[in-house]
């Protein structure tokens, strides 16, 4: 009986730590499509400490936006993504995630991240 109690408490602690970890993740991310992958833009976003994703294909774009929405990011700033393929289906499935489409301009993206 003692072993069952200790095991249950240990599992509860592991679950609490796992939940606490997910709450600390950033809730805003930037996804740069192929058209927006300019070295200066990527470098400036990395220096700013932005949670940045740079998918290589349209299929990867869909995977990245879906993953971010599933991880409950509040806002996903997209630059140069295919709206029909990578944004619209994910926005329908995850209405709690806001998708903001931006031009490939570091200043505009910084204002959006505000």
90-110 residue pLDDT tens: 999 999 999 999 887 777 777
Structural domain boundaries in the chain = 26-113
In terms of CATH, what superfamily is 26-113? Response regulator (3.40.50.2300)
Q: What is the DSSP string of 7-36?
A: HHHHHHHHHHHHHHHHHTS-SEEEEE-GGG
| d(C-alpha 83, C-alpha 114), whole Å | 23
Structure tokens at 78: 């997209």
Half-sphere CA count of 5, side-chain side, radius 13 A = 2
40-64 residue pLDDT tens: 888 888 888 889 999 989 899 999 9
pTM of the model: 0.71
């Amino acid at each position: 009986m003692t072993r069952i109690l200790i095991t249950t408490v240990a599992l509860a602690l592991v679950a609490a730590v796992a939940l606490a970890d997910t709450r600390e993740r950033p809730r805003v991310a930037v996804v740069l499509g192929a058209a927006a992958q300019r070295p200066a833009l990527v470098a400036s976003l990395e220096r700013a400490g932005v949670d940045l994703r740079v998918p290589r294909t349209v299929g990867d774009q869909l995977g990245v936006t879906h993953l971010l929405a599933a991880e409950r990011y509040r806002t996903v700033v997209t630059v140069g993504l295919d709206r029909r393929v990578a944004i619209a289906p994910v926005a329908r499935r995850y209405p709690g995630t806001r998708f903001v489409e931006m031009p490939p301009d570091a200043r505009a993206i910084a204002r959006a991240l505000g």
